[in-house]
Structure 1
Amino acid sequence: MLGFSVYLNQPLDATRLEQMRMMADAGFTGVFTSMHIPEDDPHQYLTRVRKLGQVCRELNLQLTADVSAAGMQRMGVDIKDAAALAELGLTALRIDDGVPMTTIAALSHLMPIALNASTISPADVQALTVAGANFEHLEAWHNYYPRPETGLDADWVLAKNQWLKAQGFTTMAFVMGDTDLRGPLHVGLPTLEADRGAQPLAATLNLQRRLLVDKVYVGDSVLSSARCEQFKHFFKDHTLQLSVHTTTAQLLATTWHNRPDVARDVVRLVEGRQKIHQLAPANTVARPLGAVTIDNDRYGRYVGELQIMKTALPANERVNVVGQVAAGDLALLPWIDSNQAVQFIKEDDGN
């Protein structure tokens, strides 16, 4: 499951609504918001929550709110009142520390409940079990970390997630966006420190495939339209878009596929040798990470072999360099698995 964030310190204006529609169209199905509200502004936040809930219903998005019993009380909402929560449009709650496990267990029979992944202990699991919690509705959400150098260590998250999943929890983590980074620091809201400044799709795949994360949310609200398109094509069409600098139009005209046997150093796109049967040597220069190459006539039966470099390789008089994956997409290369569809997208040389 993929999600994004909408914060209530600003109204849901036309721009934000259009961004939400864009994310929903790209395949995102969840929205996260925070209801930790200022002491002097509970009614305005309540109005905004209702509006957000209405929009999420219209777009078929699940709405999870970060809540505390005290914050809900300031808005006049009982955290244990399922009807009142549903009226706000909330479909799940992320419970702040301090709510009794008996209350959490009772709520877990009404809706999905997310707990703080970093603080869940064996004693908490025991208390939830004794209280008869519905573990199918219990999730463990990692925090995001606005301050640089405070994000989590990947090995620690993996170990924690292994334990959490053994207890029956669904796991969740955040990646940062690539536009409109949330203040006051404006340096991203990732769970992992290694993901600060990372390519959002690459960070998402790392969390899902290596760190046992079931749900990934964008912490900084939305993505740019280009990154949103990448998510849409990957998760809906199973096609990985790579921006490239190239003058070879043929690269852009075809959807290519990695071979079923994955090479260590390069991505081997099978259609190259099917489509290209003759090619004179040209631009046989060094092949940096992300170089796109085609084997020329000097390579005999390999002529037409189309590759993307997963590591830097020296020049080869039998290999023409015909393009370069844009720097922002290099992090995606390790995620080109067996038979993965790849689509090259032209990136202007001035970008």
Structure 2
Amino acid sequence: LCTLEMHRALPIETQAKHLFATELINEVIIANAYASEEELKQLSMLNSERLTFNVELYNTISELERKIVLEEPHFYRGDVSDYLIRSTQSRVKYKQEEFKPTYTPNIRRGDILIENELYGQYKGELQIALRDMENSGKTNVVGHIVKEEIFLLDYLEPWGKFAFLIK
């Protein structure tokens, strides 16, 4: 059952993520008599304390970049920017690794980014774009948050934990 009008066309999983992200509720009750087994399974796997974005990864992503996106823990650094959400631990952990330039188109809101070796000390850092911007060629675009979940970026707070799941 739709709680907010803006949820009407959204997947049930995204609706619940939004409710948890507002930090106004801590329990979701499903009033939809026709919730599918798959929807119930998706909801049961949600972590209300970590915002998990459904994503599409591009075929240009390296194995190491894939590991960083899907397996490493992420949190939004406290020094906030209007342009990027930065998760910096991967640049520390993988500073000895190579991050060759791969797919470097202009950046769109919701893009998942990993700085390549042209960015020096920042290579390996994972970021999420909050605004469209030009790509200098130093940033690999490795994937994108699914369009129905991009609005959830507005609810991620500094020091907040987040993760990605291939959809």
Aligned residue for 1:201? 16
Superposed displacement of residue 259, structure 1: 0.8
3-state SS of paired residue (2:79)? coil
Give the paired residue count: 151
Alignment CA distance shift 1:249-1:208 (3 Å)? closer
Aligned residue for 1:252? 70
Which structure has greater helix proportion? 1
3-state SS of paired residue (1:273)? helix
Cα distance in structure 2, aligned partners of 1:269 and 1:193: 32
Cα distance in structure 1, aligned partners of 2:115 and 2:22: 35
Superposed displacement of residue 252, structure 1: 1.4
Superposed displacement of residue 282, structure 1: 1.5
3-state SS of paired residue (1:285)? coil
TM-score normalized by the length of structure 1:
0.38
3-state SS of paired residue (1:197)? coil
Say if 2:105 is the partner of 1:267: no
Cα distance in structure 1, aligned partners of 2:99 and 2:141: 12
Alignment CA distance shift 1:217-1:313 (3 Å)? farther
Alignment CA distance shift 1:263-1:220 (3 Å)? farther
Aligned residue for 2:145? 325
CA contact (8 A) 2:20 2:26 kept: no
Runs (5+) with no aligned partner, structure 1: 1-175, 177-188
Alignment CA distance shift 1:272-1:200 (3 Å)? same
TM-score normalized by the length of structure 2:
0.74
Cα distance in structure 2, aligned partners of 1:263 and 1:252: 23
Aligned ranges for residues 89-238 of structure 1 at < 5 Å? 176=1, 189-190=2-3, 192-198=4-10, 199-205=14-20, 208-209=23-24, 217-221=29-33, 222=35, 224=39, 225-230=41-46, 233-234=47-48, 238=49
Q: Deviations over 1:272-293 (max 9, x none)?
A: 2112324222211122221111
Superposed displacement of residue 207, structure 1: 5.6
Amino acid at match of 1:276: Y
Higher relative contact order (CA 8 A, sep 6+): 2
Cα distance in structure 1, aligned partners of 2:140 and 2:76: 19
Answer with 1 or 2: which has the greater Rg: 1
